[in-house]
Structure formats: structure tokens, C-alpha cells
């Protein structure tokens, strides 16, 4: 498990709502403590949204902008539902642009003709950023650094290969693949300028490169021999090392340029690369395959060593076990990231899921890889990303619903990067309910000038849980960039209805104190009938109660046991009915609900002679959720049972057994009635009068005792009924 954080606490009672806020508890920024379970709250969950070949989006390059926009919105909604929090949006597949660029032409994969703008004009990257922010998604602009063309269509006149044909060579093993020559300083500067243009003009969260460096095993020595001879100022003796050095310089140049933009524009654009999953053959021991070090002439370990990437996302498109064992490789990459203080986000091969693929993976393979990423030893593995989005959209092998219900069930945010910024944002203020809407005010700028860009809403069972469960990802209710969240009735009535809000800054540092915990409780309804302990309750049973607010919904819990009862977890019983019935009412008066066998969620008719317990709570959008009323027991009458009628027996008569001196009289004037006894006060002392009535039949009786005025009855006339 990895690291995370938390926040603050206060107590205030207003109009029946309970607000609790205590002393500030400094807890540190995100990653300040270990995760508590297998559902980390700081966890990048990404997906590659691929535009080349129209693999993911747009599915139709000649569709209207409105159709393409609607399709993109559908994709983003599905990603949120699945639990994804980061989109790697491919905006430059082959030295072209799915954004409004003055450097490179509009993409063929967007409009069907390279260099032709969409009509009506729109900017897919800007549109995607806006829509991602609405949904709490991060967006990393995905660029292919060196790939110039995959062939098959006419290139625009302003394409780099037309403007600078000497910059481009063809892969020796693929005549359609054109690559920018990494050995040319002008190419390095060109790539940097493209990245600078995107990072400075767009509110992207990151820049990510994939694995297109030198062509995969497609370099003949004579292809760049002249470049090697003319552009080797440090005299590197081996052309392979020189090629790797060219890529290293480009990566370093991009990273350094981003740091300047971040500093000048108060941004936090992170930079990552997704190379081949094998660095060198035999590393780690037993691993063989196609290595990035010699096949692509790229050296990811060099980038980590020199701090020129924020994260590494190797393409571990292999299963657990075998000569490219996922566990061995992921652990090795994790250890490299840990050694050099960077993050690992593993790229996973969802394209291995379809039954038509040679691998034909089950969805459980992806699940097991994610579980592996979260074990204690994977200290610097803070997430994973899927290749590609189409398999989530098609729910291949049920992978989307599987993740939604299991590994991605609870929301998460991308982890903070302490080497970029470790100043916590300040906490939100004035947390409050307005109806069923939880609201708060944004914090002022922190000491580094950062404002909140997102908010994390938690739901706890009670205030006391917060310090102990602050790193529990299952308590995360939502992550949004707004300053309010409408809560559903189910959320307000759930056992976890103490709500807490924290702030995230642009680096996903989380506010260091608990900023506000609220439970939105009103007074419980007053149960009227059946009365506590009542026998011979007629069936169907009519429950009545006095409401506390108008226009409220009421929930009645009925059970055969009250064992373990408290205000939040309801009755506990293993026998039916353990019903949970919602009753809708619209006026502030006495309510009635009739229990019979046909009621929804009630699994049997009330049984005569059986003791039941019931309790009631209310919910109103205006005032929130009440606690449950105390459980009340009652017993319905059995079928065929005749309830005894009312029997009136006067017991204060001359037939009493007397101890002490009493006076008998039949006079009526000034007294209660005739044929009674009384103490005429002539012989003070302890006296008793015991009346033993004859009861006609068993049952419940009410006994009334009358005293004359001025008799000092509470002190001097005690009465026992046995």
C-alpha cells in the first residue's frame, strides 16, 4: 500500500442540524501516510484515448463536429462510470494536430484530409479539457514525438516532412513509416517547440510520449551515418550510444521547457513517457523480449536517473508468468522509480482481452495486475493506465463493469508529486447544507500562491472515525471541481453521513486539516401507535407518528429483534421481516402507515402473538435526515382471538382488609360517594386498606385512583398495585 493524507473538525448546532468542527489536526499533504486498504485514494487510473487509425475517437473522421463532440462526451461519461480519473488524449499522432496549431496541420484522423480544419471550426483539445474538468478527470496530452507519417493519404503542404524533407527518414523495415531524425538538433528543438505550444496555451495536466523513438529494429547504419558524423560534438564513439544520447537530450529538453512554463504561468504540467516494457534482455533475470534500449535506442533509466521525467509508464502488455512475467517486470520498474524518486504508472494491455486476439485474456488478468500494483512492496507504483479506451467502451470480457464494481469502485485522484510542490492548500471554509446540497467556500491561496482546483468529499460514520480512517479510500464519496455537491436521499440516509470536504491544489496536494464534518440530522419523529409494549394490536397494523417537518419522506424499520440497535445501523435480525419501508407524506401532521403482506419490502404479514419492534426516521430536502426514533415493541393479536371487553370494578369499598383504625360511612355530603371507608384522622399512624377484586377474565386493565383535594396524597397516601 502507498501513501495519502487527510484534513479538520468543528461543533455547531443550528436549527436541528448538527455540525461538528474541532481543533485543527495537521495531517500533512497527500502521501503523508500509508493507504489503509486495497482501494487507494491516491491512484492514477488512466486510459489511452487513441486517435490514430480512428481506433478510439473519433470513430468517423468525416463526421460533423457535433457528432464527434457527442461521441467524446459519451466516452468521457463511460470512463467516469468505470472509475477512470485520467485521460491520455492523443492530440499529435504523426506530426499533426487535433487542436488549433500554428505549427502543424490539422489531423487527417479528425477531418479526413490533413491540413483541412473542421467545419464548423472547433478545437478538440480545448473541448476535451473543458469536458474532463466538468467530470473531475485529468487530461494528459499524448504526443508521438518522432513519428511523422504512417502512410496511406496525402500530407498537407505545411507538414514538417514537406517543409523540411531532410529531417525525415524511412524505417528500413517499414516503407510506410516516416520518422523525424532524432540526431538533428533542429528536430529536437522542433519537438520541444510543439510541446511548449501545447503546454503554454492549454490547461493540460500533463504531457505524455509513447514509444515512437527510433523505428523498432528499423535502423540501418547508413541511414543516419552522415547525421552521426556531423552532429556528434562530444565524440561519442558508438553510434548506438549516440542515438540513445539524442533521445535523452530531447527528453531532457522537453522536461526543462515544461519547468519554465510551470514557473512562469503557475502551472503544474507533469511529463511522462511510455516506453517498451523491457529495458534490456536479462533485466531482471529471466526476462527476454524486445528491449527499448537496443530496439528503439531509448534509455528510460537515464531519464529517471537525471530526473527528466515525472513518471514512467512502461508498456507491460504481458500476463503474469512466462518469459515476460508481469510481476517480475512491474516490481523491477517500481524499484527503479523508487531508486530515483519518481512515479510508476504501468501501461496495461486491454487489447489482449478480445477472444479474437491470440492472448484472449480473461478480465481477471487485468484485475490481478492491478492488485499486484497495490501490494506493499510496490512503493512507487501509484496507478496504471489501459491501452486502449475502446475495450472499456465495449466492456470487453466485462472489464468495465468488473473494475467499476471492484478495483475502481471508489473514486481516487492522481497522486501528488512532492518534488514538484509539497505545500498543502488551505482548507475549504463555511461548510454547510442548503437543503440537500452540501456547500463550502473555496480557500484563499496557500503560501505558494496555489488555490484549490478540486475538492474531495468524504463520508464517515461519525466524527471519531476521521483521524483513524483518513487514509481509507472507501470513504471517498466524490471528487469534483465545484464548490457544492447535491446529495441523494440514499447518501443522506446512509450510515456514513458525516461529511468532510478537503481541497486539492494543482499538484494534488490535499489540504492538511479536516476542514469540516457535518451530519445533517433533525429530530426523530415521535412514534404514537402501537404504543410501547402494546398487546392485541389489530391487523393490518396501523403505525402512526407525529412528524417533525412537513414535506418529508419517512422510513419505518420493522423487525422481530431489537438486538444491537443504534441510531445508524438499524435493527439486526436473521429472521424476516426486517423491513425497510419508505413512506411519502406532504403535510406536517400525524402520519399513518398500514402494514400488511402486500407492502413493498415486507416479507410476511404481521403474526399474532409475535413481538415486533418498529422505529421511524424522516428525511426532508430542507432539513436533512433525522435519527431513528427509539425502538417500540408491540404484539399483534392472534387469529381467532377475542380481545376482552372493558370491565369496570369499584374496589374501594367496605369489604377491604383493614389494618389500623378506619371509619366506615354511607354519607355522601362532601365526600366522594357512599359505601366507602376513610381515615377520619382520629388515630394517626400507619394504616392499610387492601382491596382484592374479582377479575372476570385475563387481560390488560387500567387502574384509576382518586384522592380528595388537599389530602397531601403524594407523601402520605402511597398506593401499590400488585
**What pLDDT, in 10s, does the model give residues 316-340?**
999 999 999 999 999 999 999 999 9
Assign 459 a pLDDT band (cuts: 50, 70, 90).
very high
Share of the chain above pLDDT 70, in %: 76
Looking at per-residue pLDDT, the higher value among 363 and 587 belongs to 363
In 470-574, DSSP assigns E strands to: 476-480, 484-486, 498-504, 517-519, 521-522, 526-529, 534-537, 541-546, 553-559
Let me know: does 98 contact 124? Beta carbons within 8 Å. Answer: yes
Q: What is the radius of gyration, based on Cα positions, of the chain?
A: 38
Mean pLDDT across 162-190: 96
Assign 661 a pLDDT band (cuts: 50, 70, 90).
confident
Per-residue pLDDT, 562: 65
Share of the chain above pLDDT 90, in %: 59
Q: What is the dihedral of CA 530, 534, 535, 540, to 10 degrees?
A: 10
Per-residue pLDDT, 667: 57
Assign 160 a pLDDT band (cuts: 50, 70, 90).
very high
My answer on whether omega of the bond before 703 falls inside 30° of 0, hence cis, is no
What lies within 8 Å, CB to CB, of 141 at 6+ separation is: 89, 91, 92, 125, 198, 199, 202, 204, 206, 207, 208
The DSSP symbol for 424 reads P
Looking at per-residue pLDDT, the higher value among 270 and 642 belongs to 270
Q: Which three cell numbers stand for residue 265?
A: 504561468
The DSSP symbol for 588 reads S
Mean pLDDT across 282-296: 95
Assign 22 a pLDDT band (cuts: 50, 70, 90).
very low
- Res 33 pLDDT > 50: yes
Mean pLDDT across 51-73: 98
Phi, psi for 129 (deg, rounded to 5): -60, -45
Let me know: does 174 contact 122? Beta carbons within 8 Å. Answer: no
**CA-to-CA distance for 595 and 600, rounded, in angstroms?**
10
Name the CATH superfamily, with its identifier, for domain 44-405: Glycosidases (3.20.20.80)
Looking at per-residue pLDDT, the higher value among 499 and 56 belongs to 56
Let me know: does 512 contact 28? Beta carbons within 8 Å. Answer: yes
The β-bridge relationship of strands 632-636 and 534-537 is: parallel
Nearest residue to 45 via CA among 479, 514, 454, 471: 479
Per-residue pLDDT, 36: 64
- Res 574 pLDDT > 70: no
Assign 537 a pLDDT band (cuts: 50, 70, 90).
confident
157 to 109, 149, 154, 177, 273: CA distances (angstroms) = 17, 13, 9, 18, 30
Handedness of CA 106, 111, 116, 122 (dihedral sign): negative
Looking at per-residue pLDDT, the higher value among 9 and 576 belongs to 576
**CA-to-CA distance for 397 and 384, rounded, in angstroms?**
19
**CA-to-CA distance for 295 and 213, rounded, in angstroms?**
10
Assign 567 a pLDDT band (cuts: 50, 70, 90).
very low
Looking at per-residue pLDDT, the higher value among 17 and 321 belongs to 321
Per-residue pLDDT, 580: 43
Per-residue pLDDT, 594: 59
Residues of the chain within CATH 2.60.40.10 domain(s) are: 526-636
For residue 456, the surrounding DSSP H or E stretch is strand 454-460
Let me know: does 284 contact 245? Beta carbons within 8 Å. Answer: no
Looking at per-residue pLDDT, the higher value among 590 and 122 belongs to 122
226 to 181, 184, 223, 231, 592: CA distances (angstroms) = 11, 11, 8, 8, 92
Assign 709 a pLDDT band (cuts: 50, 70, 90).
low
Q: What is the pTM of this model?
A: 0.76
Instruction: Please tell me which of 32-41, 104-113, 428-437 the model is most confident about, judged by mean pLDDT.
Output: 104-113
- Res 307 pLDDT > 50: yes
**Least trusted range by pLDDT, from 218-227, 308-317, 660-669:** 660-669
Per-residue pLDDT, 586: 38
Residues of the chain within CATH 3.20.20.80 domain(s) are: 44-405
**CA-to-CA distance for 220 and 173, rounded, in angstroms?**
9
Let me know: does 462 contact 412? Beta carbons within 8 Å. Answer: no
Greatest alpha-carbon pair distance for the chain in Å reads: 138
- Res 349 pLDDT > 90: yes
Phi, psi for 132 (deg, rounded to 5): -65, -45
Distance of CA 586 to the CA centre of its chain: 33
Per-residue pLDDT, 219: 86
Per-residue pLDDT, 528: 80
- For domain 429-519, the CATH class is mainly beta
Assign 714 a pLDDT band (cuts: 50, 70, 90).
low
- Coil, strand or helix at 501: strand
- Res 9 pLDDT > 60: no
Per-residue pLDDT, 700: 58
Mean pLDDT across 346-355: 98
Per the prediction, the chain carries an average pLDDT of 83
The CATH number of 526-636 is 2.60.40.10
Partnered with residue 385 across adjacent β-strands are 46, 347
- Res 559 pLDDT > 50: yes
- Res 522 pLDDT > 80: no
What lies within 8 Å, CB to CB, of 500 at 6+ separation is: 7, 457, 458, 459, 460, 466, 514, 515, 516, 517
Nearest residue to 16 via CA among 559, 717, 548, 588: 548
Amino acid at each position: 500500500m502507498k501513501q495519502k493524507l487527510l484534513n479538520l473538525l468543528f461543533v455547531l448546532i443550528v436549527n436541528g442540524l448538527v455540525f461538528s468542527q474541532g481543533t485543527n489536526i495537521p495531517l500533512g499533504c497527500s502521501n503523508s501516510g500509508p493507504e489503509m486498504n486495497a482501494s487507494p485514494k491516491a491512484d492514477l487510473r488512466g486510459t489511452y484515448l487513441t486517435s490514430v487509425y480512428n481506433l478510439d475517437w473519433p470513430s468517423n473522421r468525416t463526421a460533423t463536429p457535433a457528432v464527434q463532440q457527442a461521441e467524446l462526451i459519451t466516452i468521457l461519461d463511460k470512463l467516469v462510470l468505470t472509475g477512470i480519473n485520467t485521460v491520455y488524449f492523443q492530440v499529435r499522432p504523426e506530426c499533426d494536430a487535433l487542436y488549433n496549431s500554428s505549427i502543424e496541420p490539422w489531423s487527417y484522423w479528425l477531418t479526413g484530409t490533413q491540413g483541412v480544419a473542421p467545419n464548423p471550426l472547433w478545437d478538440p483539445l480545448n473541448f476535451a479539457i473543458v469536458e474532463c474538468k466538468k467530470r473531475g478527470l485529468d487530461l494528459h496530452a499524448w504526443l508521438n514525438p518522432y513519428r511523422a507519417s504512417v502512410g496511406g493519404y496525402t500530407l498537407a503542404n505545411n507538414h514538417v516532412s514537406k517543409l523540411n524533407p531532410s529531417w525525415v527518414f524511412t524505417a528500413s523495415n517499414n516503407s510506410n513509416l516516416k520518422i523525424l531524425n532524432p540526431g538533428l538538433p533542429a528536430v529536437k528543438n522542433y519537438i520541444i517547440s510543439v510541446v511548449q505550444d501545447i503546454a503554454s496555451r492549454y490547461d493540460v495536466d500533463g504531457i505524455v510520449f509513447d514509444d515512437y523513438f527510433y523505428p523498432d529494429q528499423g535502423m540501418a547504419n547508413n541511414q543516419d551515418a552522415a547525421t552521426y558524423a556531423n552532429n556528434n560534438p562530444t565524440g561519442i564513439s558508438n553510434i548506438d550510444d549516440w542515438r540513445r544520447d539524442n533521445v535523452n537530450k530531447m527528453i531532457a529538453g522537453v522536461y526543462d521547457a515544461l519547468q519554465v512554463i510551470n514557473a512562469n504561468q503557475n502551472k503544474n504540467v507533469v511529463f511522462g513517457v511510455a516506453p517498451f516494457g523491457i529495458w534490456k534482455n536479462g533485466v531482471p533475470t529471466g526476462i527476454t523480449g524486445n528491449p527499448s534500449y537496443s530496439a528503439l535506442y531509448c534509455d528510460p533509466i537515464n531519464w529517471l536517473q537525471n530526473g527528466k521525467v515525472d513518471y514512467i509508464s512502461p508498456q507491460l502488455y504481458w500476463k503474469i508468468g512466462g518469459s515476460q512475467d508481469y510481476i517480475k517486470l512491474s516490481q523491477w520498474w517500481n524499484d527503479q522509480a523508487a531508486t530515483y524518486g519518481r512515479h510508476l504508472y504501468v501501461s496495461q494491455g486491454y487489447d489482449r482481452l478480445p477472444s479474437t486476439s491470440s492472448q484472449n485474456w480473461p478480465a481477471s488478468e487485468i484485475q490481478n495486475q492491478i492488485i499486484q500494483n497495490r501490494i506493499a512492496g510496490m512503493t512507487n507504483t501509484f496507478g496504471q493506465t489501459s491501452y486502449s479506451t475502446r475495450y472499456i467502451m465495449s466492456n470487453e470480457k466485462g472489464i468495465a463493469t468488473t473494475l467499476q464494481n471492484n478495483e475502481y469502485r471508489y473514486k481516487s485522484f492522481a497522486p501528488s508529486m512532492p518534488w514538484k510542490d509539497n505545500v498543502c492548500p488551505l482548507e475549504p471554509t463555511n461548510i454547510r447544507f442548503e437543503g440537500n446540497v452540501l456547500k463550502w467556500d473555496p480557500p484563499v491561496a496557500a503560501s505558494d500562491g496555489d488555490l484549490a482546483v478540486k475538492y474531495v468529499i468524504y463520508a464517515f460514520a461519525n466524527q471519531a472515525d476521521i483521524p483513524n480512517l483518513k487514509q481509507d479510500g472507501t470513504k471517498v464519496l466524490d471528487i469534483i471541481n465545484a464548490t457544492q455537491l447535491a446529495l441523494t436521499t440514499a447518501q443522506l440516509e446512509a450510515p456514513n453521513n458525516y461529511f468532510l470536504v478537503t481541497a486539492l491544489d494543482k499538484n494534488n496536494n490535499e489540504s492538511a486539516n479536516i476542514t469540516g464534518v457535518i451530519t445533517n440530522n433533525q429530530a426523530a419523529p415521535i412514534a404514537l401507535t402501537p404504543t410501547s409494549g402494546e398487546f392485541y394490536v389489530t391487523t393490518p397494523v396501523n403505525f402512526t407518528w407525529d412528524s417533525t417537518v412537513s414535506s418529508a419522506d419517512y422510513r419505518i424499520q420493522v423487525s422481530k429483534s431489537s438486538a444491537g440497535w443504534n441510531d445508524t445501523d438499524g435493527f439486526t435480525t436473521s429472521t424476516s421481516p426486517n423491513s425497510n419501508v419508505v413512506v411519502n407524506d406532504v403535510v406536517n401532521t400525524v402520519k399513518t402507515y398500514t402494514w400488511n403482506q402486500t407492502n413493498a419490502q415486507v416479507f410476511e404479514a404481521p403474526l399474532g402473538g409475535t413481538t415486533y419492534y418498529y422505529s421511524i426516521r424522516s428525511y426532508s430536502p430542507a432539513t436533512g435526515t433525522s435519527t431513528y426514533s427509539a425502538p417500540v415493541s408491540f404484539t399483534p393479536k392472534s387469529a381467532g382471538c377475542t380481545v376482552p371487553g372493558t370491565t369496570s370494578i369499584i374496589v374501594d369499598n367496605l369489604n377491604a382488609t383493614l389494618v389500623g383504625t378506619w371509619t366506615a360511612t354511607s354519607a355522601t355530603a362532601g365526600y366522594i360517594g357512599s359505601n366507602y371507608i376513610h381515615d377520619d384522622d382520629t388515630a394517626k399512624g400507619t394504616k392499610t386498606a387492601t382491596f382484592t377484586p374479582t377479575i372476570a377474565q385475563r387481560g390488560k386493565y387500567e387502574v384509576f385512583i382518586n384522592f380528595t383535594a388537599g389530602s397531601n396524597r403524594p407523601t402520605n397516601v402511597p398506593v401499590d398495585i400488585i
